[in-house]
């Protein structure tokens, strides 16, 4: 038994597995249920499966398994062996995926039967030497947990990257513990009973297990959230008496738009984040669920959460749309500063002079125990996205542009969407909020094209548009505008969250 020196990252889960053995831990898409006792046996079974393939402390395991009881069992098994789980953004192009796999050199590739049939045909996987097609057999043996250090990598998540080499955010065991603690401080049920929660965020589910909650896996293709069968999810909410939703804005929009009678549901809390939230969606939620907790979380791959607030506070602040998007007050476990916008690295000697006072717009930087400190074998990404201060503390550059005011954090855009003219600097979010509230459009993109012209793009446009009125209002708000373009189709956005504009397709 190697549980005597269990790292604190495991202790809450160990307690939940033993304390809540008969409680439902996971509800699969097809309605199959697994208690915490079942979950523990599957973790032990996954651990045995991995050991038989030679997985040891320090091994790197590339995991291609969708959200399921097997995914979470495999992840906990990997962690408890002291190995490292590798996640690749499923939307990553083949060339970049090949680049990452060659760089990481995984010791093992874990896939489902369905993915295995497809993966075997792809050149990107031909140099992966050892594979496992998932076949987790529950075991009643004791769960063996290897001793690990704070700095040991537990999980590395590779995102697509906008150009060049994809970057892999390292999540150490200390990071996972810190992140779980921050989430717990905001997500523990006020009456100390468990939540039955539907979420499409795997990292949130890991924290849920440490809290003894029940996780319902959404019956949806996460690769096509914007096309989700909302009726299937509504049935899951009813059947399982789900009392908390933690989902992306795109999925929340699909769900909320189909709810006709809120009294049919047991929802007590809705949390969303990971992408901007339209005022239209905020209003729908407040209107349909006026008496439940509605909360928005702001964060990123490298730092989640950064700040949080209520839907009502966001709507209150949105009455002044040109102020930007209100994200709330930064969480206690994080430090947030605003620095002057700069292309290229920020040196240690430059940092103190770069910090801006409240009310001044610049780039949002953060530090804390649950903020990613480095990237997997990628010094260029570290130099670009990190700043080391005079005390050796590592700050993450979010790429978000905003300002602090009265303790709250407001966002006005992304660093690559800052627009400049001889008359000044302009940011997209305030103007996009203003147009949404003034004219009711929700699929909007305000940007500057290669010729320097300012264009407002309106997607999903099915009605006649008064171009003169829109241009007049925009100029009246103090923003430059040369043209308004409409399209019956949605504007091109990132595949993951359907939120970030694909600028290159529009300019």
Three-class secondary structure of residue 484 per DSSP? strand
Would you give the distance in Å from CA 43 to the centre of its chain?
25
State the CATH architecture for 418-505.
2-Layer Sandwich (3.30)
Give burial (CB, 10 Å; 0-12/13-18/19+) of 323: middle
Q: Cα 371–373–378 angle (5° rounding)?
A: 135
Report helix angle 8-19 to 173-187, nearest 10.
50
Higher pLDDT, 302 or 505: 302
Summarised one tens digit per residue, pLDDT across range 424-466 is 999 999 999 999 999 999 899 999 999 999 999 999 998 889 9
- 99 within 8 A of 146, measured Cβ to Cβ: no
pLDDT band at 497 (very low <50, low <70, confident <90, very high): low
The topology under which CATH files domain 23-172 is: Rossmann fold (3.40.50)
CB environment 208-247: b (16+ within 10 A), e (fewer): bbbbbbbbbbbbbebeebeebebeebbebbeebebbbbbb
| CA-based end-to-end distance of the chain | 61
φ, ψ at 21 (rounded to 5°): -55, -35
Q: How far is CA 484 from CA 188, 422, 453, 478, in A?
A: 46, 21, 11, 16
pLDDT value for 321? 96
Give burial (CB, 10 Å; 0-12/13-18/19+) of 304: buried
pLDDT band at 91 (very low <50, low <70, confident <90, very high): confident
Q: How many angstroms separate the CA atoms of 195 and 216, rounded?
A: 10
Summarised one tens digit per residue, pLDDT across range 366-405 is 999 999 999 999 999 999 999 999 999 999 999 999 999 9
Q: How many angstroms separate the CA atoms of 17 and 143, rounded?
A: 11
- 371 within 8 A of 99, measured Cβ to Cβ: no
pLDDT band at 227 (very low <50, low <70, confident <90, very high): confident
Report which of 350, 26, 418, 457 is spatially closest to residue 208, judged by C-alpha positions. 26
pLDDT higher than threshold 50 for residue 177? yes
The full set of domain ranges for the chain reads: 23-172, 418-505
Summarised one tens digit per residue, pLDDT across range 182-207 is 999 888 888 888 999 999 999 999 99
Residues of the chain with pLDDT > 70, as a percent, come to 97
**Residue range 95-106: mean pLDDT, rounded:** 87
Alpha helix positions (H), 188-339:
202-211, 230-239, 249-256, 279-288, 311-317
CA atoms within 13 A on the CB side of 202: 21
**Stated pTM of the model:** 0.94
User: Can you read off the two tokens belonging to residue 48?
Assistant: 């045995």
pLDDT higher than threshold 90 for residue 288? yes
pLDDT higher than threshold 80 for residue 226? no
- 307 within 8 A of 298, measured Cβ to Cβ: yes
Same fold, 23-172 and 418-505: no
Alpha helix positions (H), 81-229:
94-104, 113-119, 173-187, 202-211
Q: How many angstroms separate the CA atoms of 108 and 65, rounded?
A: 13
Report which of 357, 398, 341 is spatially closest to residue 169, judged by C-alpha positions. 398
Residue with tokens 């930064």: 330
pLDDT value for 1? 42
């Amino acid at each position: 038994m190697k549980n005597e020196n269990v790292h604190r990252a495991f202790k809450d889960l160990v307690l939940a597995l033993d304390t809540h053995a008969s409680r439902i831990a996971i509800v699969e898409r097809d309605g199959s249920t697994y208690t915490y006792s079942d979950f523990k046996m599957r973790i032990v079974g996954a651990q045995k499966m991995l050991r038989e393939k030679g997985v040891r402390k320090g091994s790197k395991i590339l995991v291609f398994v969708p959200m399921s009881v097997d995914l979470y069992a495999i992840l906990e098994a990997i962690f408890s062996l002291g190995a490292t789980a590798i996640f690749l953004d499923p939307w990553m192009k083949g060339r970049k995926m090949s680049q990452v796999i060659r760089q990481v050199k995984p010791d093992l590739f874990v896939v489902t039967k369905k993915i295995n049939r497809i993966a075997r045909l792809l050149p990107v996987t031909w140099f992966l030497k050892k594979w496992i097609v998932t076949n987790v057999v529950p075991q009643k043996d004791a769960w063996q947990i290897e001793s690990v250090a704070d700095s040991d990598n537990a999980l590395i998540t590779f995102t697509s990257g906008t150009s060049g080499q994809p970057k892999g955010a390292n999540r150490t065991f200390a990071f996972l513990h810190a992140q779980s603690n921050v989430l717990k401080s905001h997500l523990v049920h006020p009456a100390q009973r468990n939540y039955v929660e539907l979420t499409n965020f795997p990292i949130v589910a890991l924290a849920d297990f440490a809290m003894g909650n029940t996780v319902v896996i959404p019956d949806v293709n996460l690769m096509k959230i914007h096309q989700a069968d909302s009726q299937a999810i509504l049935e899951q909410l009813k059947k399982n008496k789900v009392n908390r939703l933690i989902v992306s804005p795109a999925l929340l929009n699909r769900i909320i738009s189909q709810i006709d009678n809120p009294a049919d549901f047991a929802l007590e809390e809705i949390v969303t984040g990971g992408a901007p939230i339209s005022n239209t969606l905020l209003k729908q939620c407040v209107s349909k669920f006026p008496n439940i907790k509605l909360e928005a979380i702001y964060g990123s791959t490298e730092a989640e959460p950064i700040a949080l607030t209520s839907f009502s506070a966001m709507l209150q602040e949105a009455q002044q749309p040109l102020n930007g998007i209100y994200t709330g007050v930064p969480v206690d476990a994080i430090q947030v500063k605003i620095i002057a916008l700069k292309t290229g690295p920020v040196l240690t000697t430059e940092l103190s002079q770069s910090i801006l006072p409240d009310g001044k717009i610049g780039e949002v930087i953060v530090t804390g125990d649950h903020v990613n400190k480095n990237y997997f074998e990628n010094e260029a990404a570290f130099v670009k996205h990190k700043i080391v201060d005079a005390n050796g503390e590592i700050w993450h550059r979010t790429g978000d542009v905003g300002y602090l005011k009265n303790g709250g954090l407001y966002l006005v855009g992304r660093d690559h969407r800052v627009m400049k003219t001889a008359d000044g600097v302009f940011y997209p979010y305030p103007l996009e909020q203003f147009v949404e509230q003034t004219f009711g459009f929700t699929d909007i993109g305000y940007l500057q094209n290669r010729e320097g012209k300012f264009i407002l793009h309106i997607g999903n446009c099915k009605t006649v548009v008064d171009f003169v009125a829109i241009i007049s209002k925009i100029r009246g708000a103090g923003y430059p505008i040369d043209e308004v373009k409409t399209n019956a189709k949605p504007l091109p956005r990132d595949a993951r969250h359907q939120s970030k504009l694909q600028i290159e397709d529009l300019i």
